[in-house]
């Protein structure tokens, strides 16, 4: 949901370039400086380029040992994704605490996510209004 909010605010500010939009999302949601110039080459479709980078060469993935190595690399990759998602804006501590309680947790989760969406929208608007168009 937060990525939709970031893209919506970017659209309101006239940001239409996909590389700039990805760069903006990385700044707001992942707290990472990823300039649009580095994003542009990644948006070009090249068959199999990412698979070899993430999982190794096709020859290394053959056989039982290769399958085990591929599963291990995929697990590490998913672990890094989880760490990156933990950096996204969060709601207030009280709402996050309530979200852990039985029954009323749904309300706390809703309040925490709503606050996080507001933070993401505010951070995006501040970045764009300061003129930091995305290429930091």
pTM over 0.85: no
The share of the chain scoring above pLDDT 90, in percent, equals 1
pLDDT of residue 31: 81
Distances in Å between the alpha carbon of 98 and those of 57, 108, 111, 135?
47, 5, 9, 38
Query: What sections of the chain are H helices per DSSP?
Result: 2-12, 18-30, 36-43, 49-55, 63-85, 93-98, 105-129
Which carries the bigger pLDDT value, residue 81 or residue 38? 38
Summarize pLDDT for 48-78 with one digit per residue, the tens. 556 666 666 667 767 787 788 778 777 877 7
Mean of all residue pLDDT scores within the chain: 78
Domain borders along the chain are 2-129
Closest by CA position to 60, among listed 47, 69, 51, 73: 69
pLDDT of residue 136: 34
């Amino acid at each position: 949901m937060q990525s939709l909010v970031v893209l919506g605010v970017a659209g309101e500010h006239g940001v239409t370039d996909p590389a700039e939009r990805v760069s903006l999302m990385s700044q707001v949601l992942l707290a990472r400086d990823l300039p649009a110039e580095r994003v542009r080459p990644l948006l070009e479709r090249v068959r199999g380029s990412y698979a070899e980078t993430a999982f190794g060469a096709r020859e290394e993935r053959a056989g039982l040992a290769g399958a085990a190595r591929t599963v291990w690399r995929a697990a590490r990759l998913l672990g890094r994704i989880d760490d990156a998602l933990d950096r996204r804006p969060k709601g207030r501590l009280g709402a996050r605490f309530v979200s852990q309680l039985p029954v009323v947790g749904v309300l706390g989760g809703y309040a925490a996510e709503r606050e996080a969406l507001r933070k993401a929208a505010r951070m995006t608007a501040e970045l764009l209004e300061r003129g930091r168009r995305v290429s930091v």
